[in-house]
Amino acid sequence: MSGRPARVGLMIPSSNTMMEVDFTRDLPPGAALHTARMFMEDTTPAGESRMLDEFALPAARDLGTARPDVVVFGCTSAGALRGNDYDTELCERISELTGAPTVSTIGAVRAAIEASGAASIGVITPYVDELNEKIKASIEADGTQVAAITGLGITGNFEIAEVEPDEIVAFAVLALGHLAAGGRIDLVFASCTNFGAMAARPAIGQRLGLPVITSNQAVLAAAAARLQALAG
């Protein structure tokens, strides 16, 4: 990477309009972002399955031609959809096609939750219940209790990005405020790479008095750490 920007390859659903914005704003100095899109319009199990089966690996192949230094699989719920072992296998396949280490969003979130030491967490999402169940199962497979997971029930991925940060804060307080006040959760996770949760994160933490992890914040930190390790 000497003498050139470190290249972060990002694979995102085609209808995602939030993740590139968050990454571009907070990338480490000296890093550049290169994106590949995977066709997806519906944030549903069917829509995400089609993305995984038809569009994920072709996008990885295309992204590999830009010779990234690290690759991010940028969809939290798709990473959790078929279980943690599938997510690991998918990242290995992406790495084979791109020639770069791959970080998954759900994997980065799970690592951040483990590093926090939280025993019980509350989760907010923009998703339908079928996807919430997959997120809960992914996290609880590591031994962390999900005391509550609540979604907005949005099935159009483009519409997820249109939820304003102040709405996300209000949603978090409504869904998790009683658990935070009662000491029943140690941490809040706001899921989805197309959700404006990074902008809402400080206010959620302030209102609930708890640390907050978001999808984009967690996976960006994981990608930055991987770049730092590569730099030696």
Per residue in 36-77, pLDDT tens? 999 999 999 999 999 999 999 999 999 999 999 999 999 999
Residue 2 pLDDT class (50, 70, 90 cuts):
low
Mean of all residue pLDDT scores within the chain: 96
Going from the C-alpha of 211 to that of each of 189, 190, 224, the distances in angstroms are 9, 11, 20
Least Cα distance to 220 among 98, 114, 53, 73 occurs for 73
Residues 6+ apart with CB under 8 A from 27: 8, 33, 220, 224
144-184 pLDDT, tens digit per residue, is 999 999 999 999 999 999 999 999 999 999 999 999 999 99
Mean pLDDT of 115-132: 97
Vertex 148: Cα angle to 142 and 208 (nearest 5): 105
Q: Give the Cα separation of 219 and 103 in Å (integer).
A: 7
Q: Give the Cα separation of 103 and 200 in Å (integer).
A: 24
Least Cα distance to 24 among 10, 40, 42 occurs for 10
Mean pLDDT of 203-217: 98
pLDDT of residue 4: 84
Residue 192 pLDDT class (50, 70, 90 cuts):
very high
Paired strand residues for 70: 8
Going from the C-alpha of 121 to that of each of 115, 186, 209, 222, the distances in angstroms are 13, 6, 13, 20
pLDDT of residue 1: 54
Among all chains, which residue has been given the structure tokens 């997120």?
135
Query: Could you give the domains of the chain?
Result: 6-104+217-231 (3.40.50.12500), 107-215 (3.40.50.1860)
Give yes or no for residue 227 having a pLDDT over 80. yes
Question: Residues 109, 191: contact at Cβ < 8 Å?
Answer: yes
Using DSSP's 3-state secondary structure scheme, residue 64 falls into helix
